[in-house]
Structure 1
Amino acid sequence: MNELNVFVSVGGTATERQEAFVRAVEDRLRSEGLVPHTVGRNTFSADAPLKTVTELLDKCSGTVVIALERMHFESGTEKRGGPKELPLRDISLPTPWNQIEAAMAYSRGHPLMVIVESGLRSEGLLERGNDWYVQWVQPDAAALGTTEFNGVLASWKQKLLQPPKPSISAKAPAELTVAELIGGLKATQLWSVLGALAVLVGGAFALGAKLSGG
């Protein structure tokens, strides 16, 4: 089987423990015939980071998100000054690039495997309830040998091997279903079509009434 390129969203590591964990994930991916690519880690470019990420995502078949602690606040305030103000304690956050790159990958139809360090704040694309499974783990190599991780990895890898679904733009108009045609329209286009249909239906009733009355 040919190796597949996969995008790995991970920030620069802060501790030896984090670095060892990221390396363990990369080694595990390579053992599965997958080649990990991370901007600023093993892939570099003279272009702006966002452009480099965009180009790299287009060359990969799937994305792994490794969210590790980047910032920690012992105390803080949420919605400060408002009626719903809340005190915060021991808040840990990952790099915002995890959210950005996960969103970019999802918009491209990439299968996502999301690994989040236990203790991070659950929010955005790193919380459960989206179209992918989120694994909360301690950043240790032992976490990669659990039944949960092995099962999620196998399921995610299987999705990588499936042929991508053709986009609407890749199909000829005659091959599109009604749902695909409507789903591919912008809001303004959809209202224009509905308006035209209303005129056609109204005209048909008017013509029928005229013919029956004549």
Structure 2
Amino acid sequence: MQIPVFVSAPTHLNPSQEIVRARIVTLLEEFGFEPRALSRTDYPLDYPLREVAVIARSCFGAVILGFEQFRSLNGVSKLGTSMEQTLSEPRLFPSPWNQLEAGILFGMRRPLLIFREDGITGGIFDVGVTDVFVHRMPDSDPSMGDPQELRNVVLRWQVRVRNLYYAFD
């Protein structure tokens, strides 16, 4: 029996991002998890957010993959406030669905495992926002870095997921 977990990731990824997503999904499956997500074909006509909540209710944990989906090369942050700032370098943004899906699952008290690409910040990807550690996205080349590091991160998270799952048994 596989334990269902929600995976929040953009539908459209570049080849390098897709390799990382597939690597994480494969690892989840090796640990006995069934990755679940709202796909484009699942979108109801009116309320995709409601469908996310329906899927999330049957999941016992969540993996949030903060891949870059939009890049702003210039702009002004916090326009018209005392904190106004002209951007001096590109700003990277994840899918807004990462924020929505993470919020739903956090509200349901599901254990979160959060990864973000370098340069992704804001909301759920800010350090110290939740009691969850935000991890750097693994490299698309598994030979880069410590190959055991990703397994160890998932191993620590899966204990909380299994505790929640077996508490319902």
Larger % of helix: which? Answer: 1
Look up the equivalent residue of 2:42 and give its one-letter code: F
Change (3 A) 1:25 1:163: closer
1:45 Cα shift? 4.8
RMSD over equivalenced CA pairs, Å: 2.2
Change (3 A) 1:46 1:82: closer
Look up the equivalent residue of 1:78 and give its one-letter code: S
Aligned to 1:126: 125
Change (3 A) 1:163 1:36: closer
Which sits farther off after the overlay, 77-86 or 156-165?
Answer: 156-165
1:160 Cα shift? 1.0
Aligned to 2:156: 155
Secondary structure in structure 2 of the residue aligned to 1:36: strand
Aligned to 1:174: none
Distance (whole Å) between structure 1 residues aligned to residue 10 and residue 114 of structure 2:
14
1:119 Cα shift? 1.8
1:111 Cα shift? 0.5
1:135 lines up with 2:135 in the alignment = yes
Aligned to 2:15: 16
Change (3 A) 1:37 1:145: farther
1:66 lines up with 2:45 in the alignment = no
Tell me how many residue pairs correspond in the alignment. 163
Aligned to 1:46: 44
Change (3 A) 1:60 1:144: farther
Change (3 A) 1:104 1:144: farther
1:91 Cα shift? 0.2
1:151 Cα shift? 2.0
Stretches (4+) displaced over 3 A:
143-148, 163-166
Which sits farther off after the overlay, 75-84 or 60-69?
Answer: 75-84
TM-score (norm 1): 0.69
Distance (whole Å) between structure 1 residues aligned to residue 13 and residue 108 of structure 2:
30
Contact kept, 8 Å, 1:4 with 1:60, in 2: the verdict is: yes
Aligned to 1:198: none
Aligned to 2:98: 98
Aligned to 1:192: none
Distance (whole Å) between structure 2 residues aligned to residue 141 and residue 82 of structure 1:
42
1:84 Cα shift? 2.5
1:26 Cα shift? 1.0
Secondary structure in structure 1 of the residue aligned to 2:74: strand
Report % sequence identity: 25
Distance (whole Å) between structure 2 residues aligned to residue 164 and residue 36 of structure 1:
15
Distance (whole Å) between structure 2 residues aligned to residue 37 and residue 80 of structure 1:
38
Secondary structure in structure 2 of the residue aligned to 1:75: coil
Change (3 A) 1:26 1:141: farther
- Which of the pair has more CA radius of gyration? 1
Contact kept, 8 Å, 1:118 with 1:138, in 2: the verdict is: no
